[in-house]
Amino acid sequence: MSELITMLGCQRPIIQGPVGEMNSPRLVAAICEAGAYGMLALGFSDADRTRQLVKEVKSLTDKPFGANLMLLNPNNPGILEALADAGVKTITTSVGNPKTVYQRIHELGMKGLHVSLSLVHAMRAEEAGVDGIVITGAESGGLRSTEPESTNMVLIPLVVDHVRLPIVAAGGIADSRGYRAALALGAQGVQIGTRFIATEESTAHEKWKQAIVQCGDGETILIPLKRMNMRAVLTPALKKQMSEPGFDLTGRYRLEDVPKAWGTGDFDLFPAGAGQVSALIGDIKPVRDIIKEMVSAGI
Ligand SMILES: Cc1cc2nc3c(=O)[nH]c(=O)nc-3n(C[C@H](O)[C@H](O)[C@H](O)COP(=O)(O)O)c2cc1C
């Protein structure tokens, strides 16, 4: 049994990636029931909301599940206690310095994997005392760096060679081929974002799911924000706007508009977030079918 599987306490080394603050207890539970590790996305939540979400997930599954903490959230101390009280054993942390929070995570008897975007980032997290790394390649959905980035084919083995912790690969994985490739490159597991948005159990708006299903090769772009970029679907409408004289992506979209835009399917307000792997996703499926196919080679 790998160190990662021991940490997660589930059957398959497949972790649900947090997507903003989109929380569907039904999706988390479906992922756990299929043998993988469902996760709440706590973003800027607080302890009360965490307790409520945990209760809802526990009413649907008795399998272990985790949560992602955004390290810029001032409510994290209360959230951590709520998670520890609920018996959550392993969490992930994103966006921010892990040094500050890992001492507390360990005092509470929990373990954590830190989401990193580069080798340097991963090595710093190891020094800060994290228990594992989720390494996310340039192809992945979500916030990306404004610095040049490597894709997972290079990044996974690079981080495996330099960091002595369990490595989880995130970005570009939607089926058994991507899953097996990530394990072959040395990762102990995978984290999935985009594929789980386009599922029956996801609460994502139907227009968001369809934007992913219809997205083809080369049809995502990086939307420039203040200090980060966000990967999003390049829809035919956005492509047309971008071809108009004087159109400038810089400063056009605001991160504050994301919840409303994605929640209502208003992609003029902010384009639909998704990874490059959208090109491989052609339908909306139940989670159990996705995970069953992903592990069909028996690993
Ligand atoms: C629309 C969208 C929003 C995301 N938001 C977050 C987030 O708030 N925090 C985070 O750590 N990761 C976030 N991610 C990254 C995912 O958790 C996951 O690592 C990533 O999607 C993996 O790549 P994939 O989309 O190719 O599967 C987001 C991903 C997507 C697609």
Q: What is the pLDDT of residues 69-105, one digit of tens each?
A: 999 999 999 999 999 999 999 999 999 999 989 999 9
pLDDT of amino acid 269: 97
pLDDT of amino acid 286: 98
User: How high does pLDDT run on average in the chain?
Assistant: 97
Domain count along the chain: 2
Ligand 1 proximity of 142 Cβ (cutoff 6 Å): yes
In a domain, 86, yes or no: yes
Query: Which tokens hold the place of 285?
Result: 């499926």
What mean pLDDT comes out for the span 266-291?
A: 98
DSSP assignment string, the chain: --HHHHHH-SSS-EEEPP-TT---HHHHHHHHHTTSB-EEE-TT--HHHHHHHHHHHHTT--S--EEEEETT-TTHHHHHHHHHHTT--EEEEESS-THHHHHHHHHTT-EEEEEESSHHHHHHHHHTT-SEEEEE-TTSSEEE-SS----HHHHHHHHHHH--S-EEEESS--SHHHHHHHHHTT-SEEEESHHHHSBSS--S-HHHHHHHHH--TT-EEEEE-SSSEEEEE--HHHHHHHHSTT---TTT--GGGHHHHHHHT-TTTSPPB--GGGGG--S-B-HHHHHHHHTTT--
Ligand 1 proximity of 23 Cβ (cutoff 6 Å): no
Q: How many CB atoms lie within 10 A of CB 117?
A: 26
What does residue 191 show for φ and ψ, rounded to 5 degrees?
-120, 135
Assess whether 33 and 143 both reside in one domain. yes
Assess whether 184 and 231 both reside in one domain. no
In a domain, 299, yes or no: no
Q: Percentage of residues in the chain with pLDDT exceeding 70?
A: 100
What mean pLDDT comes out for the span 199-205?
A: 97
Assess whether 166 and 290 both reside in one domain. yes
In a domain, 28, yes or no: yes
pLDDT of amino acid 100: 84
Contact yes or no for 73/42 (Cβ under 8 A): yes
Assess whether 252 and 270 both reside in one domain. yes
Query: By C-alpha distance, which of 254, 275, 256 is closest to 44?
Result: 256
**Interval between CA 87 and ligand 1 midpoint (Å):** 25
Assess whether 195 and 265 both reside in one domain. no
Task: State the pTM of this model.
Answer: 0.97
pLDDT exceeds 90 at position 299: no
Question: What single-letter amino acid sits at 59?
Answer: S
Ligand 1 test: best mutation among 95, 190, 194, most atoms within 8 Å of CB?
A: 194
Assess whether 42 and 145 both reside in one domain. yes
What is the domain extent for residue 34?
A: 3-202+283-294
In a domain, 150, yes or no: yes
Report how far residue 266's alpha carbon sits from residue 12's, in angstroms, rounded to the nearest whole number: 35
pLDDT of amino acid 298: 78
CATH, residue 68: 3.20.20.70
pLDDT of amino acid 142: 96
| CA triple 183-279-260, angle to 5 deg | 105
pLDDT of amino acid 163: 98
Ligand 1 test: best mutation among 22, 45, 143, most atoms within 8 Å of CB?
A: 143
Report how far residue 66's alpha carbon sits from residue 80's, in angstroms, rounded to the nearest whole number: 11
Query: What residue owns the CA closest to ligand 1's atom 17?
Result: 17
In a domain, 141, yes or no: yes
In a domain, 36, yes or no: yes
Identify any residues that bridge with 191 across adjacent strands, giving them in sequence order. 15, 170
Assess whether 243 and 118 both reside in one domain. no
Ligand 1 nearest atom to the CA of residue 137, by list position: 23
Predicted confidence band of residue 196 (pLDDT cuts 50, 70, 90): very high
Identify any residues that bridge with 36 across adjacent strands, giving them in sequence order. none
Predicted confidence band of residue 198 (pLDDT cuts 50, 70, 90): very high
pLDDT of amino acid 151: 98
pLDDT of amino acid 167: 98
Assess whether 40 and 172 both reside in one domain. yes
Predicted confidence band of residue 238 (pLDDT cuts 50, 70, 90): very high
Assess whether 169 and 212 both reside in one domain. no
Assess whether 47 and 23 both reside in one domain. yes
pLDDT of amino acid 277: 98
pLDDT of amino acid 297: 84
**Interval between CA 143 and ligand 1 midpoint (Å):** 7
Assess whether 98 and 226 both reside in one domain. no
Contact yes or no for 17/142 (Cβ under 8 A): yes
In a domain, 254, yes or no: yes
Report how far residue 112's alpha carbon sits from residue 106's, in angstroms, rounded to the nearest whole number: 8
Ligand 1 proximity of 274 Cβ (cutoff 6 Å): yes
Assess whether 130 and 272 both reside in one domain. no
In a domain, 159, yes or no: yes
Ligand 1 proximity of 137 Cβ (cutoff 6 Å): no
